[in-house]
């Protein structure tokens, strides 16, 4: 191999990249479903969930969108072997921390739903974000992306 330039990543890198791309697409879909929820759909939710959604600050959907779109685009850039993926994954991680931090600090979600229900999926999302940041950094160090 040449002493400079990109090196060929292993197959597992592409497998994880595709899984992260699918994960990102699911996040964008969930965001779209959230911001386009009709009044009829909202009325089907439990009363607490309706109040929780209605009480979110005006900036919250923007943060949610930034989180999922940066993750999706970061995954596409990772598969395109661009080092710009790392910065987008960092944006996604930061916005996830702020978004869920707000929910856990400013609402009574944990008290109402319980720790397991309230924190289970957000912790999983956080772990995926950490994996994305780590993987992109590892790929840069290995010269798989550049």
Contact 31, 23 (CB under 8 A): no
The pLDDT tens digits for 57-74 are: 999 999 999 999 999 999
Residues in the chain: 146
- Model pTM? 0.92
Residue 5 binned pLDDT confidence (cut-offs 50, 70, 90): confident
Contact 112, 48 (CB under 8 A): yes
Residue written as tokens 């999706």?
72
Sign (positive/negative) of CA torsion 17, 15, 130, 63?
positive
């Amino acid at each position: 191999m040449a002493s400079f330039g990109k090196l060929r990543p292993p197959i597992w890198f592409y497998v994880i990249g595709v899984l992260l791309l699918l994960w990102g697409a699911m996040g964008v879909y969930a965001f779209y479903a959230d911001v386009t929820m009709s009044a009829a759909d909202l009325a089907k939710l439990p009363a607490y969930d309706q109040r929780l959604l209605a009480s979110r600050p005006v900036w919250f959907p923007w943060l949610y969108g930034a989180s999922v779109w940066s993750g999706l685009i970061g995954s596409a850039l990772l598969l395109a072997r661009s080092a710009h993926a790392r910065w987008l994954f960092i944006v996604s991680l930061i916005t996830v921390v702020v978004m869920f931090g707000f929910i856990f600090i400013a609402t009574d979600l944990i008290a109402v739903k319980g720790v397991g229900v309230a924190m289970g999926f957000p912790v999983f999302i956080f772990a995926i974000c950490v994996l994305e940041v780590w993987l992109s950094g590892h790929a840069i160090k290995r010269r798989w992306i550049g």
